[in-house]
Amino acid sequence: MGLSNIYVEKICEDQNIAASGNYTSREIRLQDYQPEGFISLQLEVSGNGTLKVEPLLSVNGDDYFQPSNTPDITTNFTATSGPDGNGKDIFAVELGITCPYLKLKFTETGGSNSITVSAWLAIQ
């Protein structure tokens, strides 16, 4: 049995997020990929801030929010996080429900320093 297609979407590159600020990605139309339910997010961060990433979902393509049963993708991620301590890691995206539309919200939660983020989404 062969592997099905894996699609990669660049979410952001060198996106600066101010202290206590946030950035919300463009809409990802999951229905265009007919995913089998496997989604992962690769992150690279630099700077002295702290990052939280939340999935924002929508059924109608207008109203985006994080459903109550859907966990954050990551919290407290910094430039020294990740398996090699270099601010790079890959996370499984657990949506918990089926939705055709996805946005990602990146928030600096440390409150006193900015953070720079690059992110890619893999969809299978």
Structural domains in the chain (count): 1
pLDDT of residue 50: 98
| Cα first-last separation, the chain | 15
Domain that holds residue 51: 7-123
Enumerate residues 6+ apart whose C-beta is below 8 A from 21.
Answer: 107, 108, 114
Q: Is residue 86 part of a domain?
A: yes
Q: Is residue 1 part of a domain?
A: no
Q: Is residue 17 part of a domain?
A: yes
pLDDT of residue 3: 57
Q: Is residue 68 part of a domain?
A: yes
Q: Is residue 2 part of a domain?
A: no
Q: Is residue 101 part of a domain?
A: yes
Neighbours of 97 (CB within 10 A): 9
CATH code of residue 60:
2.60.120.660
Q: Is residue 109 part of a domain?
A: yes
* CA distances (Å), origin 29, targets 25, 81, 92, 102: 12, 29, 18, 7
Q: Is residue 82 part of a domain?
A: yes
**SS3 per residue for 49-72:** CCEEEEEEEECCCCCCECCCCCCC
| pLDDT tens, residue order, the chain (124 aa) | 455 688 999 999 999 999 999 999 999 998 887 767 789 999 999 999 999 999 999 999 999 999 998 999 999 999 999 999 999 999 999 887 888 999 999 999 999 999 999 999 999 8
Give the phi and the psi of residue 14 in degrees, each rounded to 5: 55, 45
pLDDT of residue 1: 43
